Amino acid sequence: MHEASLAGGILKLVEDAARREAFRRVTVLRLEVGQLAGVELRALKFALEAIAPGTHLEGARLEFEEPAGQAWCMTCSQTVVLAARGMACTECGSYQLQPTGGTELRVIDMLVADE
């Protein structure tokens, strides 16, 4: 479960921002987790909620955006939508695909409070 270490990295990013920007807590944290990012969304949410108490994330609402996976098919030269890695091209059935989207894991933004 690498989501625990990902959650730790996200928390470090939030704590660094809190020191730099001098805010007291995060009220909303928005994350983008692409469908091809290799991240189990429920596990990431669980890990973030588990490490939040006593940090700037305590009580924060977590919101996730899940961009669809996309890949370039080297056989039929089409951009296709992929629900998961390892799937065949939906146009020609080839497995020669290069992911071009939906691989992201990033913090989009956070709403913070000073009180």
Q: Where is the binding site for Ni(2+), in residues?
A: 2
Cα 15 off chain centre by: 18
Count other Cβ atoms within 10 Å, centred on residue 68: 12
Residue ranges for the binding site for Zn(2+)? 73, 76, 89, 92
- How far from chain centre, in Å, is Cα 68? 12
Neighbouring residues of 102: CB distance < 8 A, sequence distance ≥ 6: 34, 35, 36, 37, 67, 68, 69, 70, 82
Which parts are annotated binding residues? 2, 73, 76, 89, 92
